[in-house]
Amino acid sequence: MQGQDADTASARPACKRLLLAGLALSVLTACAGGEGGGHHAPHAGRNVGVLLPLSGANARLGQEMLTATRMAMNTPTAPPLDVHDTAAPGGNAATAAQAAIKAGDGLILGPLTADETAQTAPVATAAGVPVLAFTSDMSVAQPGVWTLGIAPEQQVRRMVLAARQQGRQHFAAFLPDNRLGHALGQALQQVCEENGLQSPQIMFHDSTQEAITANLKTLSAYDSRAAAVPQPDPVAQAPAAPTPEAAPDSATIDPANPDGAPQAPVTEAATAPAVPPDFPAPPFDALLLGDTGLQLGMIINALAQARVDNTHVQIMGPGLWSAFATKLGALQGAWYAAPDPATRQAFVQQFMAAYHHMPTPLADLTYDAAALVKALDQNRPAGSANGYSVQALTRPDGFGGVDGAFGFLDNGKTRRDLAVFQILPTGGGRIVIPPAGRLRRSAN
């Protein structure tokens, strides 16, 4: 600065003003960075931050997810893991993310829940560090923050497109008034709009049997359908009056009945049993449900009362049904979308051989996330600090995973290649539309 001041006397005021402006800008930048931990991380490298609950109520789950992460990274050339506990005393997901950024991690795996992801997102995106979170709630997805959980939107998209290919055009939803129900309803509305389908009828129901039945009858226009059922003609149904029988003529004796014993009259009803008239179809040909557990039993009862069945309607439900599909024979013909379980068998066998118990489905997500990060690191461009660029993460063909093919979009949404299962009359599900084995342009 002394050299600057010695240049010319006339330049001193201008230099002084520039110096003061520079100092002020430095102070503002430091304040902004210190307040939100939002300064860019120029030293972000190959290391991978892992944000999981390793203590507290979800410690067991978090530890198993970390185990699967380490399984995928179990090679000498894999990028180092920088593990942070989101449930540590006095901390949360935001503080764990700040620690990962400060350590120079180039990508973050985790956290587990939607709320934790919302805490992590502003910290990581401000630093330009991508996040692969394990929640299935796509409402927290954004550019640079991807959600790996199998989301309601992915399931609904898969079933709607499949139903549309079978000629279904009018969709409706009868859903629980909770977070899952609203996510399913929003997804149905969005997918129908994107595919030029009529706006779906969506109703959220209460939790009592009486309310569920009444609401489903309203949605299905039960009263007007019942009124349209043709009523039987009482005159046509009245039995004919018996007529006196004449004594049989000896010349006309029936050889099969030589004694002439009276026989039971043959009526039209005996030869052709009366068939009840077909109950008119509801105003939709595909119905999305979202209930599980005991409340699903109430829905099944209401479907019977409202005369909604697979004769006219393709019933669809969440992938959660796969966990107890063996008990859902009353919903025979209904669909749900989920990964093909055959694709995870190799991972399950490898995990059980090493740890002697079945892995939780969430372990699939952490294994897949770590495996794709390792693959990107191995293929990082020469001279790059890491291979975790948005371009690399959003490659069109996606990645192969334990639960099938998946990929990321620029807006934070995740696509998945799911199968469509149909519930059997005796319960259980079978694949009726297999996964493609790759990502389609229309895939979720």
Instruction: State the pTM of this model.
Output: 0.79
- pLDDT 10s digits, 270-320: 444 444 568 899 999 999 999 999 999 999 999 999 999 999 999 999 999
* Tokens 């693959």 belong to residue: 375
CB count within 10 Å of CB 280 equals 16
- pLDDT 10s digits, 218-271: 999 999 999 998 877 665 555 555 555 544 444 444 544 445 545 545 444 444
Provide the pLDDT confidence category of residue 44 given band limits of 50, 70 and 90: confident
DSSP string, 336-390: EEE--GGGGHHHHHHHHHHHSSPPPHHHHHHHHHHHHHHHHHHTPPTT-S-S--H
Burial degree of 410 (CB within 10 A; 0-12, 13-18, 19+)? exposed
Q: What are phi and psi of 272, to 5 degrees?
A: -140, 90
- pLDDT 10s digits, 413-431: 999 999 999 999 999 999 9
- pLDDT 10s digits, 261-270: 455 454 444 4
* Tokens 């959220």 belong to residue: 204
Residue 40 above 90 pLDDT?
A: no
Provide the pLDDT confidence category of residue 440 given band limits of 50, 70 and 90: low
- pLDDT 10s digits, 178-218: 999 999 999 999 999 999 999 999 999 999 999 999 999 99
Rounded distance, CA 278 to CA 191, Å?
Answer: 32
Region 60-66: mean pLDDT is 98
Closest CA to 50 of 1, 93, 6, 2: 93
